[in-house]
Amino acid sequence: MIDFELSENVQTVQKMVHAVAEQAMRPIAREYDEREHEKPWDFLNMMWQVSGGNPIGGTGERKPKEGPSERNLTMCVSIEELSWGDAGLYLSIPNSGLGGAAVAAAGTPQQKERFLARFSGGKPKWAAMAITEPCCGSDSSAIQTTAVRDGDHWVINGTKIFCTSGLMAAEKSEGFVVVWATVDRSAGRAGIKAFVVEAGTPGMYVTKVENKLGIRASDTATLVFEDCRVPLTNILGSPEIPKTSEGFKGVMATFDATRPIVAASAIGVGRAALDFVRDTLREHGIEVRYGVPAHKLTALERDFMDMEVQLQAARLLTWRAAWMMDNGMRNNLEASMAKAKAGLVVTQITQKAVELLGPLGYSRQLLLEKWMRDAKINDIFEGTQQINQLIVARRILGYSSKELS
């Protein structure tokens, strides 16, 4: 049976998170966009307290042992609400984030316990994931950072750029950074492994925090690793180099979990813009007429309906990708479809919203211009628009990454 209704449990969480977004995020959204690099500590502490160890930004668990769950779907629904409140603030919430998703996707059961337990109490903590390097982003198999075994340690050397929450994870909390590095360049993709580097580990330095176009409440850092030593047990999964690139696929599986999350965040920003336009039109006595023949609609009504349709299509793709994870199904194709669609439509919707409201849309008096700036990142990180389209094409046509690049 196909059912597009959210369960009562998920709806309850949705309402609760919406209240947080409306009352705690919207009122400070502009302030922390203007005050880039300053942290909204009252909000962050409150989120850490209320999440009570339930990491709103953490994900990656496939179907739990006891059967299908709604964990990933609930996460997507919650993140849409939080990003409706403010995408930059959502990204800055202390939790296991992308680093936790990598541990969940590639770590052993012992590693999950060891690295993720800290997110259920004590002081706020962050985890980050560092893949991108000055030489390469989309082609993550070309990374130059190395991890060399030396006795009981791995020694990491290299530079990672544009790491979300990198500063908070590496220096300002008892969190960690998951770093992708090659243990054997001659092995190509198969030699790439993920390593957990605990906050404050000697040899890991934050050398820069970016000034950005959007999501300015979220820190984005450059991390340098200079003879940074981590215990042997900090390599996620098996240290063996497989004969094929299966190991790399394991690390890449992180994205199957995180792409629906990015898509959900994009949808939240798009919905914020759409809701605002609808409310503004209403205030001016303009009601969008549904069920009217297309040739009788105004241009504005057509634009508005198209925005709604695109947003709904992106949401359905996103929920499907999350539902598949909750049911233990491989969702690599669906996660990329959702991310590609949502990343594109949020940029289109927010631009159109600015356009429809004229000069007011462009003014800093409203949040519309901010949403337009916040939107674009969803088309860049966790695989750009082009890369996700490439993955979709490969999966549908049955080509390998060598055959279609």
Provide the binding-site residues for ligand FAD, judged by CB under 6 A: 98, 128-132, 136-138, 162-164, 212, 220, 377, 380-381, 384, 386-387, 390, 405
DSSP 136: B
How distant, in Å, are the alpha carbons of 28, 49, 97, 129, 163 from that of 221?
23, 26, 15, 11, 5
Alpha-carbon gap, residue 238 to 234, rounded angstroms: 10
In whole angstroms, the minimum distance from the beta carbon of 85 to ligand FAD comes to 19
Task: Show which residues are catalytic.
Answer: 382
Alpha-carbon gap, residue 373 to 346, rounded angstroms: 10
In whole angstroms, the minimum distance from the beta carbon of 137 to ligand FAD comes to 2
How distant, in Å, are the alpha carbons of 6, 195, 201, 376 from that of 155?
47, 10, 12, 36
**Which residue's CB is nearer to ligand FAD, number 40 or number 137?**
137
**Which residue's CB is nearer to ligand FAD, number 6 or number 380?**
380
In whole angstroms, the minimum distance from the beta carbon of 190 to ligand FAD comes to 20
Per DSSP (E only), the strands in 167-272 are: 176-182, 192-198, 204-209, 220-231
Alpha-carbon gap, residue 383 to 369, rounded angstroms: 24
φ, ψ dihedrals at 124, nearest 5°: -55, 140
- Whether 173 and 199 have beta carbons less than 8 Å apart is answered as yes
- Whether 75 and 15 have beta carbons less than 8 Å apart is answered as no
Neighbours of 275 (CB within 10 A): 12
**Which residue's CB is nearer to ligand FAD, number 235 or number 251?**
251
SS3 for 268-282 is: HHHHHHHHHHHHHHH
In whole angstroms, the minimum distance from the beta carbon of 55 to ligand FAD comes to 16
Which residue's C-beta sits nearest to ligand FAD?
137
In whole angstroms, the minimum distance from the beta carbon of 162 to ligand FAD comes to 4
User: Could you tell me where the DSSP H helices lie in 122-207?
Assistant: 166-170
Alpha-carbon gap, residue 375 to 215, rounded angstroms: 8
- Whether 95 and 119 have beta carbons less than 8 Å apart is answered as yes
What SS3 state is found at 198? strand
Per DSSP (E only), the strands in 125-173 are: 127-130, 146-150, 153-164
In whole angstroms, the minimum distance from the beta carbon of 154 to ligand FAD comes to 19
